[in-house]
Structure 1
Amino acid sequence: MTDAKPPKPATKGGLNTEIQSRIGHQLRAMYDDVVRQGVPDRFAELIRQLDSQDAAARVAEGSKKDGRD
């Protein structure tokens, strides 16, 4: 005889723990693949441009508040 426990029954309309665990492992594997790919150079460049525009806008807004306009 084995000591293996049967999977817990699913709650009404839910999934049992074994199925939830398998789904979790597969999602983690897929997510890890996406993370390893990194950000494409074009996206990184666009983010840098947006950040510099945002910083410039904050500096301009700060100078208006200080009366340096």
Structure 2
Amino acid sequence: MNDEKPAGKPAKPGRLNAEIQSRIGHQLRAMYDDVVRQGVPDRFAELIRKLDAPEGELAAKKDGRD
């Protein structure tokens, strides 16, 4: 068997070493940045606007009293 330990700070049992954590962090940031660049779909943006609107404003729009 190979008893050599990986380079860098040794990992505690059940933990990832710093190099692996760093690689995972870089990959997650790259994926997240791609999602952020896509923006919010129009239907979600409209839903957010409705949820953020005061209740009186929503009632007026529902009754057709813009």
Q: TM-score, normalised by structure 1?
A: 0.64
The RMSD of aligned alpha carbons is: 1.2
Q: Within 5 Å, which residues of 2 pair with 1:13-52?
A: 13-52=14-53
Tell me the number of residue pairs that the alignment of Structure 1 and Structure 2 aligns: 50
Task: Encode CA deviations 1:5-60: one digit per residue, 9 max, x unaligned.
Answer: x21111121011111110010000011001111100111111112222xx135xxx
Spell out structure 1 runs of 4+ moving beyond 2 A.
Answer: none
Q: Structure 1: any 5+ residue segments left out of the alignment?
A: 1-5, 58-69
Larger radius of gyration: 1
Partner AA of 1:56 in structure 2: E
Partner AA of 2:45 in structure 1: A
Q: Percent identity?
A: 78
> Within 2, Cα distance between the matches of 1:43 and 1:29?
23
Q: Structure 2: any 5+ residue segments left out of the alignment?
A: 1-6, 57-66
